[in-house]
Amino acid sequence: MKNFILSIALLSAISDTQAQKYFTRNGYLGFFSKTNMEDIKANNESVTYIVDWSSGDIQISALQTNFKFEKALMQEHYNENYVESSKFPKATFKGKIDNVSAINIKKDGTYAATVTGALDIHGVSKNYTTKATFKVSGSHVIAETKFNVKCADHKIKIEANLKNNISESIEVSAKADLTELKK
């Protein structure tokens, strides 16, 4: 009898822990480069996001070859010359929501937060801190943020003849519609 009660208690604890995790496999990551010569934009709508609301841990994973450019040639150059996706196939982020306790996922509303973590692109990891919003709407939490990334910080080299076409600092946008991870 005691073992039965303990098992039920353990299962409830595991289930409760799982309920604290939200995810999506179809999140969005985009980047935008603006110069006087041209604007370059790329979107990736197959980004995995996972958030643990109890600890504030957040992980993001995106395949570089999933970033879609308007021009196929630009997409080829991005993968072959800039991020070398055959060597470094993914961009990842591992971090924490600094003030996660301020976000109530059971109460509809928009919550402001700060996210800090390591962004790994092109094999180079760098820490970033960014402001984010978490909009709770029923069983969904929509997370959004924008921040800038310098190509040089991740050893992404821009050829001298393209320095007027590609910005040294790229605006990165992230958006994810998160729902509960059920196992």
Partner 1 sequence: MLKKIILFLAIAIVIAAGIGIYLYNKPHETAADMEIFEEISANDLMKQFDTDRGAFMKKYLNKNLLVTGSVQSFGQDSIRTQLSMSTESNSSGIISVTFADSLELKPKKNQLIKIKGICIGFKEEIEMDGLVLLGPEIQLNQAVVAQ
Query: By the criterion CB under 8 A, which residues form the site for partner 1?
Result: 21, 23, 25-26, 43, 45-46, 48, 50, 52, 55, 57, 59, 61-63, 65-66, 68, 71-73, 75, 89-90, 181
Q: How far is the CB of 155 from partner 1 (least distance, A)?
A: 21
- Nearer to partner 1 among residue 52 and residue 103 (C-beta): 52
Instruction: Determine the Cα–Cα distance for residues 133 and 166; give it in Å rounded to an integer.
Output: 29
For residue 177, CA distances in Å to 24, 64, 85, 143, 170 come to: 7, 21, 26, 7, 23
CB 55, CB 63: distance < 8 Å: no
- Nearer to partner 1 among residue 73 and residue 160 (C-beta): 73
Q: How far is the CB of 61 from partner 1 (least distance, A)?
A: 5
Instruction: Determine the Cα–Cα distance for residues 52 and 20; give it in Å rounded to an integer.
Output: 6
Q: How far is the CB of 20 from partner 1 (least distance, A)?
A: 10
